[in-house]
Structure 1
Amino acid sequence: MTVACLDLAGTTVSDGDNVRTAFAEAIATLGIVSGTAAYGRALARFHESRGGSKIAIFRSLFDEDRAQAANLAFERSYDDLVDRRGLTPVPGADDALLRIRAAGIRVCLLTGFGRSTQARIIDALGWWDRVDLTLCPADVPRGRPWPDLVLTAALRLGADDVRQIAVCGDTANDMLTGRRSGASIVAGVLTGAHDRDHLLTAGATHILPSVAALTDLILPAPVDDTVTADHR
């Protein structure tokens, strides 16, 4: 492997219900509240679209002006939740980032969040020195499930072959992005939005309990240089 593309919320960052809460608060600003049929439909769309561009999700629900208003409300709500609740890495994620980079594999953090929210998360975790590149939907023509984010990471990080890329995420959209990009490892983790069946159906090549297990999958095995004596 030469490049590892890792998702944020639910994969490397413990999400809890922050994203769902921010989404519910955002659509509430447009009058869509809990208990209504419109709320149920919107939450179903949100769950199925996890991992995708947040503005794209809102555009699938509303006209452009309302989508932009909802997206702005989402970002404000999420930022407020980060301020009140804080953020923590998925257990083992920080060590995984360090080990992957120490092995010479370049790390890109991908997200469906907007740029300011992505930066807010990385600031909160102090991860700027853990990664080589960060990408969000604003950096590419098409967000997930299209392959653009992974292929852009390959270009910017100088990958020689897409088969030398590993993708890791917690949603079906993460898996689709990885498979469409040609990455040879597309690992789904069980710490986020979608379950094993959802991830496998979307094309996961591996299912891991968490991103902490990714290192064993992509790092070269240690060489045993011990020599057994010949006691003839």
Structure 2
Amino acid sequence: MNEAEPITVACLDLAGTTVADGDTVESAFAEAIATLGIVSGTAAYDRALTRFRDSRGGSKIAIFRALFDEPRAQAANLAFERSYDQLVDRHGLKPVPGADEALRRIRGAGVRVCLLTGFGRSTQARILDALDWWDRVDLTLCPADVPRGRPWPDLVLTAALRLGVDDVRHIAVCGDTANDMVTGRRSGASIVAGVLTGAHDHDRLLDAGATHILPSVASLPDLILPTTDTPTPHHPG
């Protein structure tokens, strides 16, 4: 339970936080760079994969821009989205256990939910279609909606503006990567919760500024929602 500041908006990440990722994102990345001739077993592949893992949670197009010139970055990003869509078609998508109920509880308590992602808009929409989650959220944002993606605070601050937040301390951010944690801290959110169902481990999330570490997003409602009032025990005298 958050006693310091009432939470009115929860900004939650997608892959690895609310959506079970497995190795789908990394597989799609590997397939995308292979279209540009960077294949497993080469030094270039190892460097690219290290950059990708270190940048998890950030904008996918920004990762490709860090590796390639603009035309090849755009080509790689299109290949990534195509590969990801095919993997989704082949294997399906599932929410992280407890994520669906967490979204229900959070919105049921009057807290607005924004789903953030480093994916492009079409991939984000595909995920929400697959999970039938459009009625679970109040807002969705992707890198195309902001000047800068994660780890900059723009996604969270844009959510604050669009959802009419009175004070950034009334925001909770939840994600599975160091970039998610840095974004949350830079935005001024009072709760920046790291979950252990995705890319980065306990220490990496804590080092990046997590205020709380949770086993999964299923624990988020208990952290950010007020508990039911219970009578205070009376002690005579």
Return the TM-score normalized by structure 1.
Answer: 0.97
Give, as a single letter, the amino acid of the residue that structure 2 aligns with 1:185: I
Gaps of 5+ in 2: 1-6
How do residues 169-208 of structure 1 correspond to structure 2 at under 5 angstroms? 169-208=175-214
Given the alignment, which residue of 138, 142, 146 partners 1:136? 142
Residues 74 and 3 of structure 1, relative CA distance in 2, 3 Å threshold:
same
Instruction: Answer yes or no: is 1:75 the counterpart of 2:81.
Output: yes
Given the alignment, which residue of 150, 162, 172 partners 1:156? 162
Q: How far, CA to CA, are the matches of 1:41 and 1:224 in structure 2?
A: 55
Give, as a single letter, the amino acid of the residue that structure 2 aligns with 1:93: A
Given the alignment, which residue of 63, 67, 72 partners 1:61? 67
Q: How far, CA to CA, are the matches of 2:101 and 2:76 in structure 1?
A: 36
State the SS of the aligned residue for 1:183: coil
Q: How far, CA to CA, are the matches of 1:98 and 1:159 in structure 2?
A: 20
Q: How far, CA to CA, are the matches of 1:102 and 1:227 in structure 2?
A: 29
How do residues 27-106 of structure 1 correspond to structure 2 at under 5 angstroms? 27-106=33-112
State the SS of the aligned residue for 1:82: helix
State the SS of the aligned residue for 1:204: coil
State the SS of the aligned residue for 1:158: coil
Q: How far, CA to CA, are the matches of 2:190 and 2:126 in structure 1?
A: 31
State the SS of the aligned residue for 1:187: strand
For residues 54-113 of structure 1, the C-alpha deviation after alignment (integer angstroms, 9 at most, x for no partner) is: 000000000000000000000000000000000000000000000000101000000000
Q: How far, CA to CA, are the matches of 2:67 and 2:205 in structure 1?
A: 24
Give, as a single letter, the amino acid of the residue that structure 2 aligns with 1:154: A
State the SS of the aligned residue for 1:109: strand
Give, as a single letter, the amino acid of the residue that structure 2 aligns with 1:202: A
Q: What is the CA-CA distance between 1:224 and the residue it aligns to?
A: 1.6
Instruction: Answer yes or no: is 1:123 the counterpart of 2:126.
Output: no
Give, as a single letter, the amino acid of the residue that structure 2 aligns with 1:218: I
Give, as a single letter, the amino acid of the residue that structure 1 aligns with 2:63: I
Find runs of 4+ consecutive structure 1 residues off by over 3 angstroms. Answer: 225-228
Q: How far, CA to CA, are the matches of 2:206 and 2:52 in structure 1?
A: 20
Q: How far, CA to CA, are the matches of 1:104 and 1:116 in structure 2?
A: 28
Return the TM-score normalized by structure 2.
Answer: 0.95
Q: Which residue of 1 aligns with 2:4?
A: none
Q: What is the CA-CA distance between 1:227 and the residue it aligns to?
A: 8.8
- Percent identity over paired residues: 84
User: Alignment RMSD, CA only?
Assistant: 1.2
How do residues 206-221 of structure 1 correspond to structure 2 at under 5 angstroms? 206-221=212-227
Q: What is the CA-CA distance between 1:225 and the residue it aligns to?
A: 4.8
Give, as a single letter, the amino acid of the residue that structure 2 aligns with 1:149: L
Give, as a single letter, the amino acid of the residue that structure 1 aligns with 2:109: A
Q: What is the CA-CA distance between 1:40 and the residue it aligns to?
A: 0.1
How many residues end up aligned between the 2 structures? 229
Given the alignment, which residue of 13, 25, 30 partners 2:19? 13
